Structure 1
Amino acid sequence: MIRPIIKDVLFLAEKSEPATPADLGVVEDLMDTLRANLDGCVGMAANMIGIKKRIIVFAIGEMIVPMINPVILKQEKSYVTEESCLSLTGVRQTTRYETIVVEYLNKEFKKQTGTFTGFVAQIIQHEIDHCNGIII
């Protein structure tokens, strides 16, 4: 189900809780909502649709990738960039890392570890910030 985008900064600033198998419907809603907003958005966190769970999704071309309870294990080569957000107005400067290693659960709740670089790494970092109540 496509859900409305939350723009309440106080809500977005709250930390999200770990997701459980009972939250699989949230994963689907988040994927549907991102798919509906691909013209102006490449990633989303569950709090952007009003649910404070550690779930993110991001687009790689036409494919939408979900990550449940993602944690960045390693980050290399910092750089400064500017980002926008579907939940916020304007562009903000932030520090990101060129390469990250992320541990997460897939939709089957099986543990995965992946190395991500470039723009995909940047998207993942932005969405994990959402899970941590960091507004960029």
Structure 2
Amino acid sequence: MSTEILQMGNPILRKIATEVTAIHSAKIQTLIDELILITQQSHGVGIAAPQIGISSRVIVVASHPNIRYPDAPFMSPMAMINPRIISHSQEIVIASEGCLSVKEKRGEIPRYQNIVVEYITRDGNVQRQEYHNFIARIIQHELDHLNGILFVDHLQDEFIINNQ
């Protein structure tokens, strides 16, 4: 497993990630631990397995105030396996996003304000949870990674800000 965060242009970032079936395997549990560590070390608020070269439907959401997102709410790191949005609000919020795989670029991205997500926890439990605002934004961003989509795909070049 690579601990390097892949950058835009790497073809793995454009692939649709594979469903995880062996939730309790050492490989998936180690992957989750690795994703949590990389997120914390990179001052990120989330990461998806494809960003480190693993084409599996696993994301970690780990919101906390940091140099990249000083106003982020704090939450304990949470792994989501095979996550999918079940429903969403009609309200869309446009806000600044960056990405560990698109260095030094930010952009104003529209996302649903509220989402309901179904996923499997690292313990193998199926969860259905509603998320709002910044946390909902993180999850939507990371779900895009599982589908081969980068945040820059949601905007036109003139809306990219080059300061991260």
**3-state SS, counterpart of residue 67 of structure 1:** strand
Structure 1 unaligned segments of length 5 or more: list them.
none
8 Å CA contact retained: 1:67, 1:105: yes
CA–CA separation in structure 2 for the residues paired with 1:82 and 1:8: 18
CA–CA separation in structure 2 for the residues paired with 1:42 and 1:121: 12
CA–CA separation in structure 1 for the residues paired with 2:110 and 2:138: 12
CA–CA separation in structure 2 for the residues paired with 1:85 and 1:33: 13
CA–CA separation in structure 2 for the residues paired with 1:47 and 1:2: 10
Amino acid in structure 2 at the alignment position of 1:79: V
User: How much identity, in percent, do the aligned residues show?
Assistant: 34
User: Over aligned residues, Cα RMSD in angstroms?
Assistant: 1.7
The equivalent of 1:75 in structure 2 is 88
Amino acid in structure 2 at the alignment position of 1:53: S
Matched, 1:108 2:111: no
CA–CA separation in structure 1 for the residues paired with 2:128 and 2:115: 10
Aligned positions, number: 134
**CA distances 1:59-91 after superposition (whole Å, capped 9, x unpaired):** 132611111110001111112233110110312
Matched, 1:12 2:13: yes
The equivalent of 1:88 in structure 2 is 102
Cα drift, residue 32 of structure 1: 1.6
Following TM superposition, where does structure 1 have runs of at least 4 consecutive aligned residues deviating by more than 4 angstroms? none
Structure 2 unaligned segments of length 5 or more: list them.
64-73, 152-164
8 Å CA contact retained: 1:2, 1:29: no
8 Å CA contact retained: 1:54, 1:131: yes
Cα drift, residue 34 of structure 1: 1.1
Q: Who wins on radius of gyration, i.e. which is larger? A: 2
Per the normalisation by structure 2, the TM-score is 0.76
Amino acid in structure 2 at the alignment position of 1:107: R
Higher strand share: 1
Question: Does the C-alpha gap of structure 1 residues 80 and 62 become closer, same or farther in structure 2, counting only changes over 3 Å?
Answer: closer
